[in-house]
């Protein structure tokens, strides 16, 4: 199930449930926040802020209803100098979908480009077909709207995320 968590952007990591409870990896990558996206309960480690999203990895699940909450969580973490791990059970579909939605929002890039960049660092990344459809729908305007909301709330993004993503392509 992968070889540990993968750095997608500064302050943003993608992984699986094993990564989320590995104190060595969490410490080495200075993880301060974790988004757990699956049905199983997670151990709560001290000094880590958690967001739990109980979602099954099936195409008909409306994962996009969680995009805004997850994107705000990741963005706040990064703006405050933290590092966020987004994980599901295998680190393939659900977590990749959330990370893709976040990167789409902060860069303005389309889901296919973002997913291609993520796969450059994590080849197993592959949202299920229903999640890909929801990412496509999110790109029809919702990601830009959410980007404007982030800018209104937090000011202009200080990160060079689009450059980071394009460097992976």
Tell me which of 76, 77, 88, 157 is the catalytic residue. Answer: 88
Pairing mode, strands 6-9 and 49-53: unpaired
Q: Specify the pairing of strand 84-87 against strand 6-9.
A: unpaired
Q: Phi then psi for 36, rounded to 5 degrees?
A: -105, 120
Q: How far is CA 150 from the centre of its chain?
A: 16
**Active-site annotation holds for 70:** no
Tokens (6 digits) for 7: 């750095």
CA–CA separation, 127 and 132 (whole Å): 6
Torsion of CA 112, 94, 129, 137, to 10 degrees: -60
**Alpha carbon 158 to its chain's center:** 18
CA of residue 46 relative to chain centroid, distance: 22
Active site (catalytic) residues: 88
């Amino acid at each position: 199930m992968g070889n540990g968590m993968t750095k997608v952007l500064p302050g943003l990591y993608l992984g699986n449930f094993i990564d989320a409870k590995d104190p060595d990896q969490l410490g080495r990558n200075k993880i301060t926040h974790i988004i757990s996206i699956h049905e199983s309960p997670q151990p709560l480690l001290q000094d880590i802020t958690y967001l739990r999203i109980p979602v099954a990895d099936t195409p008909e699940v409306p994962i996009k209803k969680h995009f805004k909450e997850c994107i705000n969580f990741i963005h706040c973490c990064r703006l405050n100098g933290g590092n966020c791990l987004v994980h599901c059970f295998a680190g393939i579909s659900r977590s990749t979908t959330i990370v893709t939605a976040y990167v789409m929002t902060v860069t303005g890039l389309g889901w296919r480009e973002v997913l291609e960049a993520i796969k450059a660092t994590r080849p197993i990344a592959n949202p299920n077909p229903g999640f890909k459809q929801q990412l496509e729908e999110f790109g029809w305007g919702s990601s830009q709207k959410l980007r404007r909301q982030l800018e209104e709330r937090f000011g202009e993004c200080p990160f060079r995320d689009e450059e980071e993503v394009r460097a992976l392509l």
